[in-house]
Amino acid sequence: MIGFHELLKHVESTLAAGSSYGEARFHSTRGLTFLFLNGSLIGASTSDVTGVAFRAVYSGGLGFASTSDLSSESLREAAFRAVASAKASSLVLKRGVAMSPSPLGSARYSVVEAKPLEDVSVEDKMRIVGEMIKSVDLKKDPMRVTNYMVVYSETIEYKVVVNSEGVRVESRIPRVSIFYNISASSGERRANRWNSLAASGGLEVLDKVKFTEEFQDDVNSLYINLVKAADPPKGRMDVVLAPEIVGLAMHESVGHPSEADRVLGREAAQAGLSYRSEYRDEYIGSPKVTVYDDPTIPGSYGFYLYDDEGVPAKRRTLIDKGRLAELLHNRETAAVYGVESNASARSTNYRSEPIVRMANTYMAPGDYSFEELVEDVKEGVYLRKYMEWNIDDYRWVARYVGLEAYMIRNGRLEEPVRNVVLEANTREFLSSVDAVGRDLQFTAGTCGKGEPPQPMPVWMGGPHIRLRGVVVG
Amino acid sequence: MSFTDPRLMAESLSRAVAAHVDEFVVSVDIVDSVMVKYANGEISVTQSWRDYVVGAYMTKGGRISMSTYTTSDPGEAIKATIPLIDKLAPSPFHAPLPQPGGSPLSSVDSKIREASLSGDPGGIVEEVDVRGHGNVAGMILLKYSRNHYIGSNGLDMGYEVTKFNGYFRVFKGEESGQWAWVSTAYEPRLALKSLEKAWELASLCYSLPKVKVESGKYRVLLSPMVAGNLLEDVASAASAGSAIMGLSFLQGRKPGDVIASEKLTLKEVPRAENMPGLRGFDDEGVATRDKSIIERGVFKGFIHNTKTARLMNAESTGNAGWLMPRLFNLEVDPGTLEEGELLEVLGNGIYATNNWYTRFQNYLEGSFSTVTRDALIVVENGKPSGCYRRARLTGTLPKLIESVEELSRERWPIEWWEVSIPTLLPHMLVSEMGVTAATSPS
pLDDT tens per residue across span A4-41: 999 999 999 999 999 999 999 999 999 999 999 999 99
Inter-CA distances, A129 with A33, A210, B64, B235, Å: 11, 12, 18, 32
Q: How confident is the model at residue B439 (pLDDT cuts 50, 70, 90)?
A: low
Confidence check: pLDDT of A316 > 50: yes
Q: How confident is the model at residue B3 (pLDDT cuts 50, 70, 90)?
A: low
The DSSP code sequence of B180-248 is: EEEESS--HHHHHHHHHHHHHHHHHHHHSPB-PPPSEEEEEEEPHHHHHHHHHHHHHHTBHHHHHTT--
Cβ atoms of residues A395 and A256 within 8 Å:
yes
In tens, the pLDDT along A336-366 reads 999 999 999 999 999 999 999 999 999 999 9
Residues 294-323 of A with CB under 8 A from B: none
Closest by CA position to A445, among listed A204, A154, A179, A153: A179
Bridge partners, A197 (sequence order):
A178
Q: How far is the C-alpha of A253 from the C-alpha of A245, rounded, in Å? A: 12
CA distance A296 to chain B (A): 29
CATH topology of domain B6-203: PmbA/TldD fold (3.30.2290)
For A69, the closest of B3, B42, B92 (CB atoms) is B3
Is any Cβ of chain A less than 8 angstroms from the Cβ of B2?
no
Residue of B31, B35, B43, B67 to mutate when probing chain A, most A C-beta within 10 A? B43
Is any Cβ of chain A less than 8 angstroms from the Cβ of B287?
no
Is any Cβ of chain B less than 8 angstroms from the Cβ of A92?
yes
Q: How far is the C-alpha of A259 from the C-alpha of A256, rounded, in Å? A: 5
Helix (H) or strand (E) run with residue B7 in it: helix B6-18
> How many residues make up chain A in this entry?
473
For B70, the closest of A43, A68, A396 (CB atoms) is A68
Is any Cβ of chain A less than 8 angstroms from the Cβ of B31?
no
Contact A85 B46 (CB under 8 A): yes
Nearest residue in chain A measured CA to CA from B68: A47
Is any Cβ of chain A less than 8 angstroms from the Cβ of B154?
no
CA distance A53 to chain B (A): 9
Confidence check: pLDDT of A104 > 60: yes
Is any Cβ of chain B less than 8 angstroms from the Cβ of A280?
no
Residue of A50, A90, A390 to mutate when probing chain B, most B C-beta within 10 A? A390
CA distance A123 to chain B (A): 6
B371 contacts on A by Cβ (under 8 Å)? 390-393, 397
Q: How confident is the model at residue B442 (pLDDT cuts 50, 70, 90)?
A: very low
Contact B417 A453 (CB under 8 A): yes
Nearest residue in chain B measured CA to CA from A96: B44
In this prediction, what percent of chain A has a pLDDT beyond 90? 97
In tens, the pLDDT along A110-138 reads 999 999 999 999 999 999 999 999 999 99
Closest by CA position to A327, among listed A249, A262, A247, A398: A262
Listed by start position, the domains of chain B span 6-203, 210-442
CA distance B430 to chain A (A): 22
Cβ atoms of residues B281 and B103 within 8 Å:
yes
B51 contacts on A by Cβ (under 8 Å)? 51, 66-68, 351
Is the dihedral angle over the CA atoms A85, A88, A90, A95 positive or is it negative? negative
For B392, the closest of A96, A146, A399 (CB atoms) is A399
In tens, the pLDDT along A32-59 reads 999 999 999 999 999 999 999 999 999 9
Is any Cβ of chain B less than 8 angstroms from the Cβ of A17?
no
Q: What is the ipTM of this complex?
A: 0.94
Q: How confident is the model at residue B441 (pLDDT cuts 50, 70, 90)?
A: very low
Q: How far is the C-alpha of A199 from the C-alpha of B180, rounded, in Å? A: 37
Tally of CB atoms within 10 A around B99: 11
CATH topology of domain A4-228: PmbA/TldD fold (3.30.2290)
Exposure string for B52-64, b = 16+ CB within 10 A, e = fewer: bbbbbbbbbeebb
Residues 111-150 of B with CB under 8 A from A: 118-121, 125, 130-131, 135, 137-139
For B70, the closest of A40, A50, A265 (CB atoms) is A50
For A451, the closest of B139, B360, B370 (CB atoms) is B139
Contact A42 B92 (CB under 8 A): yes
pLDDT value at position B440? 47
The size of the A-B interface in CB pairs under 8 A is 271
pLDDT value at position A91? 83
Is any Cβ of chain A less than 8 angstroms from the Cβ of B172?
no
Give, as one character, the DSSP assignment of residue A259.
B
In tens, the pLDDT along B72-114 reads 788 888 888 899 999 999 999 999 999 999 899 999 999 999 9
pLDDT value at position B71? 79
Nearest residue in chain B measured CA to CA from A427: B442
Tally of CB atoms within 10 A around A441: 18
Bridge partners, A178 (sequence order):
A152, A197
Least confident of A74-78, A224-228, B80-84, B402-406: B80-84
Contact A264 B40 (CB under 8 A): yes
Listed by start position, the domains of chain A span 4-228, 235-472
pTM of the predicted model as reported, rounded to 2 decimal places = 0.96
Cβ neighbours of residue A119 closer than 8 Å, sequence gap 6 or more: none
Contact B71 A63 (CB under 8 A): no
Confidence check: pLDDT of B314 > 90: yes
Helix (H, G, I), strand (E, B) or coil at A399: strand
